[in-house]
Structure 1
Amino acid sequence: ALPAPDIAALARLHRLPARTARIDGDRAALWLDPAGDGTAPLAQEVGRAARLLADGAPPEVEWLTVVTGSNGLDGTAVTLSRRAVEQAASKRGSPEEIWRTTRVERSAGPPPDWPTRLALSITPTVEASLFEQSAPLAQRTYSDAVLTVEPFRGLVFSGGLRVNVSHSLHLLDTNAIPAAAPVRSDLPRYADRSATVERLYAAWLAAPSERWSTRLSLGHVEEMFGGVGGEALYRPPTARWALGLDLNRVWKRPPKDALRLAAESGRNTGHASLYWEAPGAATTGVLRLGRYLGGDWGGTVELMRAFDGGVRLSAQVTWTEGPEGAQSRYGGRLEQGIALTVPFSPGGSWPPDGRLATAVRTLGRDAGQRLRQPLPLYNASVSAGYGRLTGSWPRLMD
């Protein structure tokens, strides 16, 4: 039998995103918190963690709890019978039989401790626009290196460096008639810099109840804007839907001074969002209504799909009334795009969280522009939630 700290350390050696463990009487618990979308099916990670608990816990432990989460927010607390797990591991049981005695809750209570997490991610990105009247293709290539520190549960500090590799954004139609108060139509000025601070912010995430989660953010949250914002997400534990509301007060970050906010550029933006999941939560549809960065009002329809191995595909289209004093006449009121993200891990000293991103979208527009929030609550919720758990349950013992 192993003490709880050794079980957590052993889980990390087995490449599980374990944060802490607890042994209390006839129960043992292990917290998994990858702080992002994992590459393995959720139930597969739960099964690996349960088998590790069964192997390492003292003989008196009868119930094994695996808590899944992201960025300090619990997604599900899955309690399994130790005997059922051991029988399935020796090919004398099945995931379906284990499910009969499994209890799923939102949380297992506060963890005994929460070690500081330090993570580095690398994201090479290629973005292209095929929607210009003046050119068949405009592109931008860059790479982001993001360092994230979580000193306490739910408190996140993040800083990112962006290295611009190449671009042909001078071909964008929005450069034909410069906007008086650009939202993103001045994108070429940002891409001209060789390197810059892409993000530098702090965030606090909490779960006031099993149905609610909240986030407060402060700082430079993306390349062009910084400020303060809040988000709330209402999501019943076993529901296939969720409701979200985000509100932000932001200022433009001048392209030649990445750490300053232009005092005269303050604006309010925010959206109400409805999320609906297909069975298994691999596919999610989103409807957003609200105020965009240019002051224009409208709506966005988005479709997101998660594949095995951590591959993510999303598509969105936005229609707004058009911002006053910002959009050039070539930009239109339509914002659209499709994006693909593929994880990679070459090994060696390379960071484990490497992702290749590519997108075809309308670049450098002022209409229909949302804040590119790096920590949306729904993404954290769905990756560790009930839908992903039940959708991948047949792979529990893989």
Structure 2
Amino acid sequence: MPKQSQARALGKASAVFIACSYWILPAYAQSQGYSYSLYGTPGLIDMPTAQSAEDDELAQTFSTFDGQARATLTFQLTPRLSASFRYATLDNFSVTGERTWDRSFDFRYRLIDEGRYRPAIAIGLQDFMGTGLFSAEYIVATKSIGDRLSVTGGIGWGRLGSYNGFSNPLGRLNSGFYTRPGFSGLGGEPNTNAWFRGDAAFFGGVSWAANDRLTLKLEYSSDAYVTESTRGLPADRFVHRSPVNFGLNYRLRPGVDLSASYLYGSVFSVGASFRFNPKHPPAKGSLGRGPVPVKPRISRNVSPADWGTGWIVDDARTARIENILSQLLAAEGMELEALEMSGTTARVRIRNNRYEAMPQAIGRTARLLTQVMPASVEVFKIEPVVNGMVPSVITVRRSDMETLENTSDSAWLSYARAQIDPSSPAEGPQSRPGLYPRLTWGLSPYMDVSFFDPDQPLRADFGAELSGRYEIARGLSLSGALRQPIIGNLDSGRAAGSVLPHVRTDANLYAKADGPLLDHLTLDYYYQPAKNLYGRFTVGYLEKMYGGVSSEILWKPIDSRLAFGLEVNYAKKRDFDQLFGFQDYDVFTGHASAYYAFGNGFHGQLDVGRYLAGDWGATISLDREFRNGWKVGAFATFTNVSFEDFGEGSFDKGIKLTIPISWVTGQPTRRKAVTTIRPLTRDGGARLNVNGRLYETVRELHDPDLKSRWGRFWR
């Protein structure tokens, strides 16, 4: 790729993101007390502050100066803890004058909240698991004076201890403190032996909000930019003339900030930040149709005959009830899988094809049952069906529907009075005649995206996808997708350079195929061998790079935060043309998994087993899930492959984002945009991609997931 094109790549990606952010994603009211630094964390200009973003805020920032550009994604994990992933480029940084691309991670924790007289105090690790280019640690305090002025002072190590430094004040506490190692090109390994070691230095500054849009900043920086001043060609090296920086921040609209600064007495910088919060969707409320009202029954005293149970032996009437219920559910984007009625109970199995939150589908089904069921039916047993399985039975009393619909605390009371039980695989109504077999299909555009490649920050392929699913019986289906690429540049990615089997680093060779491409074609069988047990068996072309057989079993009690699973796979590498042929590489792989819901939306997962390259190890994942379906998570994989054999990055890690389409459009849909951002794709720790794994399929119909999203029951 030409050098000038490389230099413009990050800028183009930034411009596209900012444009989309400005016009598509939401603005929301925010505190005026903080803004983002050039490093993409709450700060002054180049220095951090002790301020924190709003809880759950997700911010994307871009900044550039003197041939250096930084793009940072920061997420406020909790009110005190934030994490950042940074992708930076530096022109003429190597001794040959070539461009350098760097990836790094940060953590920051606010130790003390600001009080009337005391400042907020935070501790931070910057580039704690990268190449060490931006490596620093700091302890910082910030105090607001009135509504518009804030003052910051701190002490830093590493980069932030490189100007006017002094002996480490922590050195007396531990004689093992010593100067950190220099910049390393491998990266990815936690630099624990360097944290809070070496010389330290003071930094600080002030921030003054001239009005609700414009903020002026002045800071004293403790970063001497030693590495940038000594590496690269002499004529292009960074010049550090002064530790004083001046800057301003302008709020273009809530959520979008522009910044400009004069740095170190030598260069100007510009930047932009876009921030949004999953709690504040672009569409204020749902734009879909409202629910039908609950139909109250006529009083037994007024019409005792209506409360009789003789209707149950009237075949014509029961058939009419089933037909009407099926039509009403179809209008709501749901399907009637089965219906079983007695004089006092209606047991209904539904498929939810529309609503992102299962409690909303359950609530709307209960409303419809009040419309069609005779007055004698008091108990509604609603059983959502997912991939042929029935994970739970939700029992709702009709009298509760009638009395709670318009009460102020109807969501909590309806959950408290509902009963959620595990289903019994051997029991339940049979599927309606004529429901199987059936074929569904669709034609839509597709996009494959690769972020933060070492040579270019954004690559993508666009094309058309023909997908289909043939359901043979409940739980048994044949599904697949055929793709035709139209335009893109994924094929220009870096060629494989791994000492391990090329299980993932041949991705660019797969992207060179002209199409049509068989993305996947599988026969899937889902079943419930016993109460609290779920099974999956998948065979075929599992993903674009592998075919084979995958089998999984999951133990998940309905009211338990803990679940265990076991997956075993045989995978064979597919030909690069992604049609029906295979290459001469196969492997047995599989994992034992433990899942735990910690509460407050946090979900943890531990997978231990064998990966595609034959390496053994474990993957640790932690997700933060919101009640509107948003998920932000991170994962890291450590195997018996050494950091040196793994190559650049040292081990597999990344960030996962899941955005419900309904959050953006306001229209109810179960579609989601799922993105995994890896600093680098390597062969170590690579796992097979199989659609429809059990835990995510089942848990949305178990506690505590149902409880956390029950607020949508009446919507």
Contact 2:518 2:578 in 1 (8 A): no
Aligned mates of 1:311, 1:79 — CA distance in 2: 27
Q: Is 1:372 aligned to residue 694 of structure 2?
A: no
Moved more, 110-119 or 210-219: 110-119
Q: Is 1:182 aligned to residue 499 of structure 2?
A: no
Q: Specify the alignment match of 1:297 in structure 2.
A: 616
Contact 1:119 1:147 in 2 (8 A): yes
Q: Specify the alignment match of 2:339 in structure 1.
A: 21
Say if 1:26 and 1:322 are closer, same or farther in 2 by CA, change over 3 A: same
Q: Specify the alignment match of 1:170 in structure 2.
A: 492
Query: Which of 677, 702, 705 is residue 388 of structure 1 equivalent to?
Result: 705
CA-to-partner distance for each residue in 1:95-114, whole Å, 9 max, x for gaps? 44434543221127333215
Where in structure 2 are there 5+ consecutive unaligned residues? 1-316
Q: Specify the alignment match of 1:284 in structure 2.
A: 603
Contact 1:123 1:357 in 2 (8 A): no
Aligned mates of 1:248, 1:276 — CA distance in 2: 23
SS in 1 for 2:383: strand
Say if 1:97 and 1:383 are closer, same or farther in 2 by CA, change over 3 A: closer
Q: Which amino acid is the alignment partner of residue 459 of structure 2?
A: Q
Contact 1:120 1:353 in 2 (8 A): no
Aligned mates of 2:641, 2:695 — CA distance in 1: 27
Contact 1:75 1:386 in 2 (8 A): no
Contact 2:355 2:669 in 1 (8 A): no
Q: How does 1:78-117 map to 2 (within 5 A)?
A: 78-89=394-405, 91=407, 94-107=410-423, 109-113=427-431, 115-116=435-436
CA-to-partner distance for each residue in 1:209-236, whole Å, 9 max, x for gaps? 1211011111011010011121000111
SS in 2 for 1:386: coil
In angstroms, what is the RMSD of aligned CA positions? 3.0
CA-to-partner distance for each residue in 1:361-391, whole Å, 9 max, x for gaps? 1454211110101010001111222222111
Contact 2:334 2:351 in 1 (8 A): no
Contact 2:350 2:384 in 1 (8 A): yes
Percent of aligned pairs sharing the same letter: 26
Query: Which of 510, 522, 527 is residue 206 of structure 1 equivalent to?
Result: 527
Aligned mates of 2:340, 2:457 — CA distance in 1: 55
Contact 1:300 1:319 in 2 (8 A): yes
Indicate the structure (1 or 2) with the bigger Cα radius of gyration: 2
Aligned mates of 1:39, 1:52 — CA distance in 2: 15
Q: How does 1:178-327 map to 2 (within 5 A)?
A: 181-195=501-515, 196-256=517-577, 258-262=579-583, 264-279=584-599, 282-322=601-641
Where in structure 1 are there 5+ consecutive unaligned residues? none
SS in 1 for 2:618: strand
Shift in Å at residue 203 of structure 1?
1.1
Aligned mates of 1:265, 1:67 — CA distance in 2: 43
Q: Specify the alignment match of 1:3 in structure 2.
A: 321
Say if 1:96 and 1:186 are closer, same or farther in 2 by CA, change over 3 A: closer
The total of aligned residue pairs comes to: 384
Q: Which amino acid is the alignment partner of residue 512 of structure 2?
A: D
Say if 1:363 and 1:157 are closer, same or farther in 2 by CA, change over 3 A: farther
Q: Is 1:76 aligned to residue 392 of structure 2?
A: yes
Aligned mates of 2:622, 2:529 — CA distance in 1: 28
Say if 1:294 and 1:92 are closer, same or farther in 2 by CA, change over 3 A: closer
Say if 1:92 and 1:338 are closer, same or farther in 2 by CA, change over 3 A: closer
SS in 1 for 2:380: strand
Shift in Å at residue 340 of structure 1?
2.5
SS in 2 for 1:226: strand
Q: Specify the alignment match of 1:342 in structure 2.
A: 659
Query: Which of 338, 356, 365 is residue 40 of structure 1 equivalent to?
Result: 356
Moved more, 241-250 or 121-130: 121-130
Contact 2:539 2:550 in 1 (8 A): yes
Contact 2:536 2:553 in 1 (8 A): yes
Aligned mates of 1:313, 1:123 — CA distance in 2: 25
For CA contacts below 8 A with separation 6 or more, give which structure has more relative contact order. 1
Aligned mates of 1:275, 1:392 — CA distance in 2: 19
Aligned mates of 2:674, 2:397 — CA distance in 1: 41
Say if 1:208 and 1:308 are closer, same or farther in 2 by CA, change over 3 A: same
With normalisation by structure 1, the TM-score equals 0.86
Q: Specify the alignment match of 1:53 in structure 2.
A: 369
Moved more, 99-108 or 285-294: 99-108
CA-to-partner distance for each residue in 1:307-354, whole Å, 9 max, x for gaps? 45544433322122239xxx976455511222323344799xxx9665
Say if 1:312 and 1:299 are closer, same or farther in 2 by CA, change over 3 A: same
Shift in Å at residue 123 of structure 1?
7.2
